[in-house]
Chains A and B, each alone.
Chain A
Amino acid sequence: MSPRNLARRWALVAWLPFALTTCGGASFDDQAVIKGLRVLAVQKSAPYPAPGEGVDVKLLFWDGKSTEDNPRDVHIYFARNACENPPGDLYLNCLSALAGGFVEGTPDGGNPDDMPDGGGSDGGESDGGTASGAMSHAAPGRGFVPIASENQARFRNIAPSDFVRATEAEKTAASFDVDHVRGRHFRITDTIVRPRTGGEPYGLAYVLFAACPGHLGLVPNAAANTLPLGCFDDTDNHRLGADDFVIGYTSMYVYTARANTNPIVNDFLFEGASFADSTTDDSRVPHIPNCQASDRSKCPKYPLKVAIDRASAEIDTDPTAKTPDGRDLQEQMWVAFYLTAGELKSSLRLVNDATRGWNEENGTEFTAPAEPGPVRIFAVVHDNRGGIAWVEGKIIVD
């Protein structure tokens, strides 16, 4: 009877990726190849923070349009405050409520002086030189504009003042001594966890961010149902497109007694040899020839793999995380590869399956581009509970 309809709907959803995979999509640029400004990962120091816990948020980005001769000044912005418990757990409701719902409860929020102006941080300094925004929040439902299906101004409240620019000084970890990581500190409120039917109670905090090689501003005459926030060039103030502007979010599910740790990445292997230090040590940079063959299948393939600690695949402590036959569910893990040139056989690979365990074949193959030059390769390891870790390497195509 009626339960099957839920099942049927999900079965259809399940088939969709197959249909999309098998029926095309090849005409688009490869997602793995970085051609513009991209945010690649956002790591939280505690993927499942506890109520009242402070969380360092660290963002990895790369600008494919920057060159050594002509670097662009990319700015990373974080929402002044995190967005807690939006109706329906919808991040869209955060976009609709940024100015209306959050500034009100923020000690220093809503001040036009906090407009991003080239690096000025607000929210107060925290220990270790990390900017922190005491996470303000709205009462559940308060200040939110429901997402309607009609042509209403969904995002009419969003404003550039909702974001603050993250600076070089706000890098929160020393894992990379690179200039394409930014961070910010947030603190979870104590009362975020709500009662819930059908699972363990949790609270939800979204952190919104944006990446822009210019400044944020309101889009003139934006259509009512589109995002009015845009990225504008600092010199001529023209609006930049999707390759130059990223807006995104990361979510933090907050449990009273459940934790999660980020995956542990041990190494990055190119043809079986470590090249994780290649970004800082030129002697570790592999050199390979370019490939100008028009038939790319004839180009040499170079194995590429991330060495991931198997302990990263944690047992889900959710008491309901059991298979139908009573076995514990593990974390689902996958790795996403990105690169600045060349090709990959697969850009996403399964690392660990919740029921079938570790996938040894979690690597991919790299094909050199036709043009010589340096190639930056990133691997971002995800788990299905918000845990993230990354590693990067560099090769030279001769």
Chain B
Amino acid sequence: MLAALWTFMTPASVRAQSGNDPPTQPEQGAIPSGGAGAIRVPAQNAPEETPAQVTPPKIIHFEPSPYPPEAEKLGLEANVILQLDIDKDGKVTKAVVTEAVGHGFDEAAVQAAQKFLFEPARRGTTPIPARILYRYGFTLKPSTPEGQPTTDPAAPAPPTDNLRGKVLSIEGDVPLAGATVDLENLQGEHAVVSTGADGSWAFQGLAPGHYKLTLASSGFKPVKAEEDVVAGSVTELTYRLALDEGGIEITVQGQRPPREVTRRTIEQREILRIPGTNGDALRSLQNLPGVARPPGLAGLLIVRGSAPTDTHTFIDGIYVPLVYHFGGLSSVIPTEMLEKIDFYPGNFSAQYGRVMGGIVEVGVRSPNKDGKYHGLAQFDLIDGRVMLEGPIPLLKGWSFLIGGRRSWVDTWLKPLLVSLDAGVTSAPVYYDYQAFVETKPTARSSFRLGVFGSDDGFEVLIRDPAQQDPAFGGNLALKTGFYRIEARYKNDINDALKFSSVTSYGLDRFDFGIGTFFFNIRNQNLFNRTELSYRPIGGVTFHGGVDLALAPYAVNIRFPPPPRPGEPDPGPFATRPPITRSDNNLAWRPAAYLEAEINPSARSKIVPGIRADYARDTTKIDLSPRLSGRYNIVHEFPRTTVKAGVGIFYQPPQFQESDAAFGSPNLRSNRAIHYSLGFEQEITRPLEVSFEGFYKELDQLVARLPNAMGGYDYNNLGKGYVVGTELLVKYKPDAHFFGWLAYTLSRSVRQEPPDYATRLFQYDQTHILTVLGSYRLGRGWEFGARFRLVSGPLYTPNIFGVFNSDAGAYAPLSGLPFSDRVPMFHQLDLRIDKQWRMNGWSLRTYLDVQNAYNRSNPEGIAYNYNFSQSRVQGFLPIIPSLGIRGEF
């Protein structure tokens, strides 16, 4: 069997020649296989400046060669390294063997290569001639014994493929022929196959179970992966290999269907390079369809028209209460520690509950297990962080990953606050820290211990109280923090039974005080998520699990009850008597679920599930049946998939809603029914389109009405709906580019007390368009841009001011709640990265510019003291951010 493997130069390493120029001499260590006349230059030694961007040639016609008869007879295989001269029309003008291997291989390779056709190399947009190295591989396929019929009707059916796929070059999805696919089972036994001319590979008759795969091809970085073979179904995978050259990362794109209708995954490279996010992990989510733009720098996740509190974030499977420092400055866990972020905007699996919005699952990656130590240090204008990982000395098989971060905004913010006449007791500062150790006790199991946490705080004396409400003056103190200690264990007990469990203990702390008002919350918590998966027959897997949350808490609150969104302004807080609440109590919210993954065929998957939640504060059990399914109308590339889901989702009331002092006991959980229907369509290998329509029916929403005792009676009479569509056109990361276009059209409506008129929900955003992309220019440079066009936020117009003489401030008489919208938001963010690679380490610097054309984007309406004048309030100006990072 003929296989071909080719290698070409990257933009950073190619120098095209004019017809009269002599070939440039190769530099030492230029190419793994080495070849006279090679002009490849390692990226780390690349000069800093390039006159114009050079694009390498791309093959557009591959000519298969007959297998040399002599070699076939002798059973020989070989790789022939060719030096090809390609003219500006893409034709091969010259093919030279750099290392002769004989037996007819050289001649056959040259003959075939002369019929190749390329898309020519370009400098800028101008086609130019180029010289490249190309490897032409010849491999034999198992022969059928002579005289034996190819197909014997009486013979048992040949074993069918149950693990198969393709190996492609990340550069343009060109099939990599001759790549090796090494399969290792749990007993350590290996089987190796080579890819065919179209990059395809397959294993047949594999026993169900867990396997390790190593995919390798000369000139490319190898890829390791772990996959499961399921009886009765075919696992089909596509791997894209990157050139073995500095600065290129690898993307592994498995194609196993998710358990959810829609799972959107952002990989680390994308997170780090999305402009306008400063490489922040969770802020990258705000670029996905279905996620609204939060105001200003806020780190709110507004998913499909739901409130931010309706979406939960998990780190390593553990719920965390605060995911941003100071509400939006940066995530509490650094991007470099993440494997990926999975985002479920709705209709999520029964393993998740207690929310009506979405789920964010942040996966912490395993420590590097190559036996070496690695680390990084990064500094920008806001904070500095360090990370270190590697093997643990004297503990064989254990490795560690630790990191920490501290802000230094306090160093420049303190003088600023002092200049504004604020007495600074403690300038704003934040920390976060992470430490994980991991081992694999057996080939089938893994064990991780970890601790991570975050701490924010400041304390200032405001000597100029706010004119709008003098209650906001005096001593202002805020301290928030949490930590989690976790233990995670996974064990594939046998081919049909899997067990995973994560348990955590932690403490949440939230202290806030201003003037005479304060609240202090201490919330210990114990979480456990345990899942047992069992596959009784091929194509059917059951997942059963528990999701336990036990939280003894202590609250000490002294605050007037704030108005709810959409309610009339009660006037300044300054002189209102507070409600005082000191309580030690226990929140106990256990849940159990059962879910099945049913594969009626290789094309389809149906996932029915049910979840039961109990909440001690409501003393009620909520049953949440859910059903989702996917069907591949076209199973092969370009794949076409339709997907749909429906399910019930409950969310218990907030503390202040069901508390006897602030709210009303005996409330029920809020309820939502999610419906969704959509499709996914592959266009090219890296390009995919997905479209989804959704409808969320909301009822039993907690609402309230004022009572004669001066307080409020809470009820479950609120209702509403969210309807919308989402479009995602995504170009998956390759060696040069990634990007996407995300558009959401939606409408979110609420009606709280039943006799109230329906109104738009405060977070409703009709149009949300995000277009972003990042392109590697070569020589360590990468440039990215993001443009957003979003409906302006809603606001409640204030019509008239009523003077509250006790506070000396005006209270607004408002019009209809959220009945007006500020003008549309649009913003361009730019980012440029430059990386230098040295021996064993690299240095990267970046400039991230938010709001590049300095538009005064409106975030709301500002009023004068008596609400007789108003104007649109701009918020953020252009914000450049410079960072530098060293990594080894």
Contacts and interface: CB of A to CB of B under 8 A. Distances in A.
A227 interface: yes
B575 A2 contact: no
A31 B475 contact: no
With most chain B CB atoms within 10 A of its CB, the pick from A41, A320, A353 is: A353
Contacts of A151: 757, 816
B623 interface: no
Nearest to B589: A1
A329 B516 contact: yes
Contact of B580 (A199, A353, A380): A199
A323 B513 CA distance: 9
Contact of A332 (B474, B511, B653, B808): B474
A350 B813 contact: no
Contacts of B578: 199
Interface string A1-26: 11111111111111111011101110
Nearest to B811: A91
Contacts of A42: 805-806
B225 interface: no
A384 B471 contact: yes
Given A87-B708, A198-B662, A243 B571 contact: no
Interface stretch (B159-167, B174-182, B461-469): B461-469
A1 B549 contact: yes
Interface stretch (A64-72, A176-184, A249-257, A294-302): A249-257
Contact of A324 (B520, B579, B867): B520
Interface stretch (B106-114, B492-500, B795-803): B795-803
Contact of A253 (B520, B577, B655, B874): B577
A159 to B, nearest CB: 17
Interface in B697-742: 705-712
Nearest to A243: B868
B296 A14 contact: no
B598 interface: no
Interface residues of A, number: 102
Nearest to B877: A23
B565 to A, nearest CB: 10
A11 B816 contact: no
Contacts of B801: 242
Contacts of B811: 91
Interface string A79-100: 0000001111111110100000
B57 to A, nearest CB: 52
A7 B519 contact: yes
A380 B808 contact: yes
Contacts of A95: 802
A29 interface: yes
A324 to B, nearest CB: 5
B314 to A, nearest CB: 14
B555 interface: yes
Interface string B115-138: 000000000000000000000000
B421 interface: yes
Given A11-B478, A140-B708, A249 B512 contact: no
B470 A149 contact: no
A15 B55 CA distance: 50
Given A147-B568, A354-B474, A356-B461, A384 B515 contact: yes
B204 interface: no
A39 B706 contact: no
Contacts of B463: 346, 349-350, 359, 361-362
Contacts of A147: 567-568, 706
A355 B513 CA distance: 10
Given A251-B806, A348-B470, A353-B474, A5 B757 contact: no
B558 interface: yes
A353 B817 CA distance: 35
Given A320-B558, A354-B475, A385 B575 contact: yes
B525 interface: yes
Interface string A156-197: 000000000000000000000000000000000000001111
A263 to B, nearest CB: 13
Contacts of B265: none
B661 interface: yes
A109 interface: no
Nearest to B759: A149
B464 A350 contact: yes
A365 to B, nearest CB: 11
B570 A90 contact: yes
A388 B470 CA distance: 14
B709 A350 contact: no
A197 B865 CA distance: 34
A20 B578 CA distance: 25
B408 interface: no
B579 A348 contact: no
B724 to A, nearest CB: 23
Given A1-B525, A149-B756, A346-B464, A204 B710 contact: yes
A191 to B, nearest CB: 13
Contacts of A321: 516, 558
Contacts of B466: 17, 20-21, 348
B510 interface: yes
A128 B870 CA distance: 45
A246 B473 contact: no
With most chain B CB atoms within 10 A of its CB, the pick from A90, A95, A318, A347 is: A90
A386 interface: yes
B869 interface: yes
Contacts of B575: 251, 382, 384-386
B309 interface: yes
B218 interface: no
B483 interface: no
B44 interface: no
A89 to B, nearest CB: 4
Contacts of A292: none
Contacts of B327: 8, 11-12, 15
A347 B467 contact: yes
B370 interface: no
Contacts of B660: 197-198
Given A1-B523, A148-B753, A227-B813, A41 B805 contact: yes
A241 B817 CA distance: 24
Contacts of B803: 39, 246-249
Contacts of A386: 575, 806
Interface in B516-570: 516, 518-521, 523, 525, 549, 551, 553, 555-559, 562, 566-568, 570
B865 A13 contact: no
A17 B472 contact: yes
Contact of B571 (A27, A91, A204, A242): A91
A352 B845 CA distance: 48
B438 interface: no
B508 interface: yes
A87 B655 contact: no
With most chain B CB atoms within 10 A of its CB, the pick from A5, A41, A85, A243 is: A5
With most chain A CB atoms within 10 A of its CB, the pick from B472, B476, B708 is: B708
A149 B566 contact: yes
A272 interface: no
Contact of A6 (B421, B464, B656): B656
Contacts of B557: 6
Interface in A127-150: 140-141, 146-150
Contacts of A86: 706
Nearest to A139: B708
Contacts of B491: none
Given A2-B617, A5-B655, A350-B463, 11 more contacts: A85-B710, A87-B710, A89-B706, A91-B804, A146-B705, A149-B752, A195-B709, A196-B710, A197-B660, A242-B867, A350-B465
15 contacts: A2-B654, A5-B309, A7-B512, A12-B327, A17-B466, A27-B871, A29-B869, A31-B467, A151-B757, A323-B518, A334-B465, A350-B461, A353-B475, A354-B475, A361-B463
Of all A-B residue pairs in the complex, the 6 with the closest CB atoms, nearest first, are: A88-B706, A248-B803, A198-B661, A150-B757, A140-B708, A242-B868
